[in-house]
Structure 1
Amino acid sequence: MKHLTNRTLAVIVALLATIALALTVISLPTPQAYAVDGSDGTAQTDGADATPTAGPVPNIIISNFTYGGDSVAAGANFNLDFTFQNMGQVAVTNMVITVDGGESFAIAGGTNTFYVDALWAGYAMTQTVPMQALSSAKSGAQPVTVSFKYEYVDANVRSSSQSDIKISVPISQPDRFEVNDPVMPEQSFAGEETTITLDYVNKGKGDISNVEATMEGEGFDATMKTQYVGNVASGTTGSIGYAFTPQAAGELDAKLKVTYEDSDGQSKTKEFPVKLTVSDPMPVDDGTAVDPNMEVDANQGLPWWVWAVVVVLAITVIVVLVVLVRRKRKKKAQSDIDEEWDDWSAANSSSDAGKDDGSTASGSANTEVIEPAAHKS
Structure 2
Amino acid sequence: MNRPRIIVVKPIIALIALAALIVACVSAPVCAMASGRAAAAAADTIVAGDAGTRHATPVDDTDQNAGGDSGQSAAPIAGPVPNVIITNFTYGDGSVPAGGKFDLGFSFQNKGSVAVQNMVIGVDGGDGLTIAGGTNTFYVPQLAAGATQSQTVPMQALIDAKSGAQAVVVSFRYEYVDAGQRSSNSVDEKISVPVSQPDRFQINDPVIPDDAQNGQESTITLAYVNKGKGDISNVEATMDGKGFDTVSKTQYLGNVASGGSGTIAYAFTPTDSGDLDAKITVTYEDSDGQQKTKEFPVKLTVAEPAPAMDDTAADIQDEQPGTPVWLMPTVAAVAIVVIVVIVVLVKRHRKKKRSAMDEQWDDWQDDQDGGDTPEAQGHASDTPAADDTDRQAPTEVIASQLGERS
1:79 corresponds to which residue? 103
CA distance in structure 2 between the partners assigned to 1:322 and 1:125 by the alignment? 111
- Shift of residue 186, structure 1, vs aligned partner: 3.0
- Shift of residue 118, structure 1, vs aligned partner: 1.1
Deviation per CA, 1:145-201: give whole Å up to 9, x if none.
100000111111110000111111010001110001111123211122211111100
Deviation per CA, 1:311-352: give whole Å up to 9, x if none.
9x7799499479859969x99xx9xxxxxxxxxxxxxxxxxx
Q: Which has the higher helix share?
A: 2
Deviation per CA, 1:287-332: give whole Å up to 9, x if none.
752599x9x9xxx8448xx69x979x7799499479859969x99x
CA distance in structure 2 between the partners assigned to 1:322 and 1:114 by the alignment? 104
- Shift of residue 217, structure 1, vs aligned partner: 1.2
2:391 corresponds to which residue? none
TM (norm. structure 1) is 0.67
1:73 counterpart letter in structure 2: P
2:255 corresponds to which residue? 231
- Shift of residue 240, structure 1, vs aligned partner: 0.7
Within a 5 Å distance, the mapping from 1:2-41 to structure 2 comes to: none
1:274 corresponds to which residue? 298
Of the candidates 131, 138, 155, which is equivalent to residue 179 of structure 2? 155
Within a 5 Å distance, the mapping from 1:70-219 to structure 2 comes to: 70-219=94-243
CA distance in structure 1 between the partners assigned to 2:182 and 2:336 by the alignment? 127
Distance 1:49 1:247, change over 3 A: same
Distance 1:194 1:113, change over 3 A: same
2:269 corresponds to which residue? 245
Which structure would you say has the larger Rg?
2
- Shift of residue 48, structure 1, vs aligned partner: 4.3
CA distance in structure 1 between the partners assigned to 2:307 and 2:266 by the alignment? 26
Distance 1:188 1:50, change over 3 A: same
1:67 corresponds to which residue? 91
What is the total number of aligned residue pairs between the two structures? 283
- Shift of residue 203, structure 1, vs aligned partner: 0.6
- Shift of residue 49, structure 1, vs aligned partner: 3.7
Distance 1:272 1:321, change over 3 A: closer
List alignment gaps of at least 5 residues for structure 2: 1-28, 31-64, 352-406
- Shift of residue 128, structure 1, vs aligned partner: 0.4
Distance 1:73 1:327, change over 3 A: closer
Secondary structure at 1:289 match in 2: helix
* 2:246 corresponds to 1:222: yes
List alignment gaps of at least 5 residues for structure 1: 1-35, 335-377
Cα RMSD of the aligned pairs, angstroms, is 3.5
1:13 corresponds to which residue? none
1:152 counterpart letter in structure 2: Y
CA distance in structure 1 between the partners assigned to 2:141 and 2:303 by the alignment? 85
Distance 1:177 1:45, change over 3 A: farther
TM (norm. structure 2) is 0.62
Secondary structure at 1:150 match in 2: strand
CA distance in structure 2 between the partners assigned to 1:232 and 1:317 by the alignment? 66
Distance 1:48 1:235, change over 3 A: farther
Distance 1:281 1:112, change over 3 A: same
CA distance in structure 2 between the partners assigned to 1:127 and 1:322 by the alignment? 104
Distance 1:221 1:163, change over 3 A: same
- Shift of residue 282, structure 1, vs aligned partner: 2.8
CA distance in structure 2 between the partners assigned to 1:218 and 1:45 by the alignment? 105
Distance 1:50 1:226, change over 3 A: same
1:148 counterpart letter in structure 2: F
Secondary structure at 2:280 match in 1: strand
1:125 counterpart letter in structure 2: Q
